Amino acid sequence: MTLYAVGDVQGCARTFKRLLKRISFDPDRDRLWLVGDLVNRGPASRKVLRKVIKLGDSVTCVLGNHDLHLLATAAGVRRRSRTDTFHDILDADDAADLIDWLRRRPLLHLETKQRRALVHAGIYPAWQPKEAKRYAQEVEARLSGPGWRRSLARIYGSTPDLWSPKLVGADRRRFTINALTRMRFCDASGRLDFGESGPPGSQPRRLTPWFRMPERPGRKWHIVFGHWSTLGLYRRDGVTATDTGCVWGGKLTAVPLDRKGAPIAVSYAER
């Protein structure tokens, strides 16, 4: 049995299939951690979603910003933008089933015994992972419940961008979503930055990658994430970053998590 972490698939169904074949993935024996952003930008979001659903309990998948954007579009609270490529899901006969499956995925998955976490962008540096899970659950409860459409209308916006224990309600949920699914850099006060998306070193000096912020309590955990294609495969500072830019013509990468072994990557293989 091997547990693999796989980076952002983003509708690249052929590349995903090729990667599973390359690692000889067996859903009866192996497990897969998917960092989210299963859909959008790539050519075959529906195929990816159906394939992942078919893999059943062997897969743990968290929600990414593109997945949330699909949910909000399906809910009618966001308009399709010209760059969105998930129309195949919205137009499918089984669209409702696909959307219902997706909105029941968590924002954060913890394996407490192994001190291992799966999240799309990262765990806010000032949070203990268990604290982060409590905040994530406030969002997850709404997304998986009957009022999910309405709840999505209030998640958009980049404020508040600074954490305070005094944040409550929709403000706290919006901050949680932004931290868990959009974060890359923070300033010294812990303010989230949404402008920079380049690799570490390309940012203004006042900003720091979230995982290098000082006194980060989550450092005692192994945090697996994606979202940051210009960071690429990165395995230091207590984290494993897995987005190797498949949808931009890069690679899709699987990293074995519970045994030693080199990451396995396949090149972009869409038509």
| Comparison of 10 and 208: residue with beta carbon closer to Mn ion | 10
| Comparison of 46 and 69: residue with beta carbon closer to Mn ion | 69
Least distance CB 9 / Mn ion (angstroms) = 11
In a 10 Å sphere around its CB, with 0-12 CB exposed, 13-18 middle and 19+ buried, how is residue 249 labelled?
A: exposed
Least distance CB 242 / Mn ion (angstroms) = 12
| Comparison of 2 and 203: residue with beta carbon closer to Mn ion | 203
Tokens of 249: 């013509």
| Comparison of 69 and 142: residue with beta carbon closer to Mn ion | 69
| Comparison of 7 and 125: residue with beta carbon closer to Mn ion | 7
- Binding residues vs Mn ion (CB under 5 A): 37, 64-65, 227
Residue of closest CB approach to Mn ion: 227
Least distance CB 202 / Mn ion (angstroms) = 18
> Please, which residues bridge with residue 60 across strands?
33
Number of H helices, E strands in the chain: 8, 12
Determine the longest span between alpha carbons in the chain, in angstroms: 50
Hunting for tokens 């459409």 — which residue is that? 149
Judge whether 187 and 206 are in contact, CB under 8 Å: yes
**150: which residues sit within 8 A by CB, 6+ positions away?**
none
